[in-house]
Amino acid sequence: MKVLITDEISQEGLQPLLDDPRITVDVQLGLPVAKLHEIIGGYDAIITRSGTRVDPPLIDHAERLKIIARAGVGIDNVDVEYASNKGIIVVNAPFGNTNSAAEHTLALLLTLCRNITLANPSLKSGEWKRAPFTGHELKGRTLGIIGLGKVGGRVALRAKAFEMEVLVHDPYIAEKRAEDFGVKLVPLEDIIRYADVISVHTPLNDETRGMIGTEHFAGMKNGVIVINCARGGIIDEAAMLAALDSGKVLGAGFDVFSEEPPASELVKQLIAHPRMVVTPHLGANTFEAQKNVAVDVSRELVNYLDGRPMENAVNIPRFDPDLMDHMRPFMGLVSQMGDFLSQLAPANPEKIIFTYNGKLARYDCAPLTVCGLAALLNRHTEVEVNMVNARLVARTMGMVVEEVRTTETESFSNLVTLAVHTPEGKRTIAGTLFEGKVKIVKMRDFHTDFTPEPHMLVISYEDRPGLIGKIGTILGEENVNIGNMNLGRRAKAGEAMVVFSIDSPASEDVVARLAEATQASFLKQVHMASVS
């Protein structure tokens, strides 16, 4: 796995990658976009912080990219939807820098309240002034937190240690969470009206962009303090500047900006404002946080290589770990069945039905459906289909995917059946696990009993004496050794279906000779990449 690192990541935290002989790591900081586009095609994974835009043009150049790893929380610099459509896994490190961001929020607030950024240069320049730097206490003031997530929660606890009253606005949390933190959940208007300090801790998205604007500032207390240690743009920057200019806001502490580094006049003016305390996105910039997030994303890349579930993938359907323990043995089965059937079924499936029988059906089988679907679609699409984009791709291709579960079963304790409906008819395949081995037990309405092998031939014909011999002769003449054979028949001398595993692939010529010799109604060679 070739990994490209485009932002500063803690070397110490990357040790799991550097120690892994399967992985090579390239650190290329400050690359111009054009250069990044030029080289990204050579990498399987990219690790970034907020400094790299992983946008559609970059993703389009990333032909072999499997994972985008964000060593931090905010993924607003990654086009997750675009990546998902391409089957690229996006992971982040949601926990490692929480504490640092919360402490930084308090650092900005205390700095503002005690005029530290003003007193510091004054004293260093030889002055001894105290009165101009008289500040405010936090004790007894009301803090309004918008977004009681990981960072917001820690800010709340720390504010309470300073004996502040804490109001919280967050429409997406349970009341219980606010209770657990000992804070009051209120509508946004109450935060605006009653808070002495307002601090935003939401992600940046279409809903939160500009969620604090001119009309909100108008409704705030005079002399309010505003903190943004989340994302630039959650607080409208033009409105912020105007509120500082008008004196409505006593001071503001910003760690994040809509442009990083700032380019426009507006952002530069905001930063330059005398009552603004600013830091260049340092919320997560502690040795502790940087080590944590680097370890977390490194571990995810190793998980991927080891075929283990990824803990912090933001675009893989999330399944309960206990459920996955039940599902994992069957993933290989559905995946092999999907790959097998995709090579037999005619094109343009309209509907795909996954039926689960037996003990397995007691559980939510969605992980198996996604896995089987990915295998079924993979050979027919330009993009690689995997658990990230299987459902998206099926939807784009106009396919209906259904899942049926029934604990009843005739002869197997667990049975999975895949049925693909096309305008030309239906193809089905059923399989089970026997002593941990994949067994295909039914194809169409023929009973079968074989384990998929790397190269196989599936032939249907009207059964008559001598045909198996003819097939053997043709394959033998072409030096293709038969490893196994499984014959399915409904009746003596009726239609038969025979499945051969062969030690090497058969040429087109051999396939044509077999078709002619057997007068086959159906003949397909199947290659199973996933078995060895």
Residues near ligand HPV, by CB under 6 A:
49-51, 71-74, 97, 281, 283-285
Q: Does 6 participate in binding ligand NAI (rule CB under 6 A)? A: no
Q: How far is the CB of 75 from ligand NAI (least distance, A)?
A: 8
Q: Does 173 participate in binding ligand NAI (rule CB under 6 A)? A: yes
User: In the annotation, is 455 catalytic?
Assistant: no
Q: Does 443 participate in binding ligand NAI (rule CB under 6 A)? A: no
Q: Does 283 participate in binding ligand NAI (rule CB under 6 A)? A: yes
Is the Cβ of residue 48 or residue 448 nearer to ligand HPV in the bound state? 48
Query: Which distant-in-sequence residues (6+ apart) come within 8 Å of 44 by Cβ?
Result: 1, 2, 3, 64, 65, 66, 67
Using CB under 6 A as the criterion, what x/- string covers residues 208-247 for binding ligand NAI? x--------------------xxx----------------
Nearest-angstrom CA–CA distance, 236 and 252 = 13
Q: Does 299 participate in binding ligand NAI (rule CB under 6 A)? A: no
CB under 5 to 8 A by kind: which of ligand HPV, ligand NAI, none does 152 bind? Answer: ligand NAI
Is the Cβ of residue 74 or residue 262 nearer to ligand HPV in the bound state? 74
What CA dihedral angle connects 119, 121, 125 and 128, to 10 degrees? 0
In three state form, how does the secondary structure of 427-477 look? EEEEEEEECCEEEEEEECCEEEEECCCCEEEEEEEECCCCHHHHHHHHHHH
| Residue in 465, 467, 437, 470 with CA at minimum distance from that of residue 453 | 437
Nearest-angstrom CA–CA distance, 270 and 285 = 22
Query: Which part of the chain contacts ligand NAI (CB under 6 A), choosing from 170-178, 257-265, 428-436, 497-505?
Result: 170-178
What angle is formed at CA 240 by the lines to CA 236 and CA 242, rounded to 5 degrees?
Answer: 120
Catalytic residue among 49, 141, 154, 281: 281
Given candidates 47, 68, 146, 499, which one binds ligand NAI under the rule CB under 6 A? 146
Nearest-angstrom CA–CA distance, 386 and 373 = 8
Q: Does 291 participate in binding ligand NAI (rule CB under 6 A)? A: no
Given candidates 61, 136, 150, 273, which one binds ligand NAI under the rule CB under 6 A? 150
CB under 5 to 8 A by kind: which of ligand NAI, ligand HPV, none does 49 bind? Answer: ligand HPV
DSSP 196-247: SEEEE-PPPSTTTTT-B-HHHHHHSPTTEEEEE-S-TTSB-HHHHHHHHHTT
Is the Cβ of residue 71 or residue 204 nearer to ligand NAI in the bound state? 204
- Using DSSP bridges, classify how beta strands 414-422 and 425-434 pair: parallel, antiparallel or unpaired: antiparallel
Catalytic residue among 8, 177, 193, 260: 260
DSSP state at residue 19: T
Nearest-angstrom CA–CA distance, 428 and 65 = 34
Is the Cβ of residue 150 or residue 248 nearer to ligand NAI in the bound state? 150
Nearest-angstrom CA–CA distance, 134 and 116 = 10
Catalytic residue among 231, 299, 444, 513: 231
Query: Which part of the chain contacts ligand NAI (CB under 6 A), choosing from 22-30, 145-153, 316-324, 364-372?
Result: 145-153
| Residue in 388, 375, 391, 390 with CA at minimum distance from that of residue 89 | 388
Task: Count the residues of the shown chain that bind ligand NAI, applying the rule CB under 6 A.
Answer: 32
| Residue in 510, 513, 483 with CA at minimum distance from that of residue 499 | 483
Given candidates 63, 81, 137, 207, which one binds ligand NAI under the rule CB under 6 A? 207
Is the Cβ of residue 50 or residue 142 nearer to ligand HPV in the bound state? 50
User: In the annotation, is 231 catalytic?
Assistant: yes
219: phi then psi, degrees, rounded to nearest 5: -85, -5
DSSP state at residue 94: -
Is the Cβ of residue 73 or residue 278 nearer to ligand HPV in the bound state? 73
Q: Does 128 participate in binding ligand NAI (rule CB under 6 A)? A: no
Secondary structure class of 311 (helix, strand, coil): coil
User: In the annotation, is 104 catalytic?
Assistant: no
CB under 5 to 8 A by kind: which of ligand HPV, ligand NAI, none does 389 bind? Answer: none
Nearest-angstrom CA–CA distance, 242 and 229 = 20
Residues numbered 243-282 forming contacts with ligand NAI, rule: CB under 6 A: 255-256, 281
| Residue 74 vs residues 50, 53, 77, 203, 481: alpha-carbon distances, Å | 7, 12, 7, 7, 56
Contacts to ligand NAI by CB under 6 A: 73-74, 94, 97-98, 101, 146-152, 169-173, 201-204, 207-208, 229-231, 255-256, 281, 283-284
Among all residues, which ones are annotated catalytic? 231, 260, 281
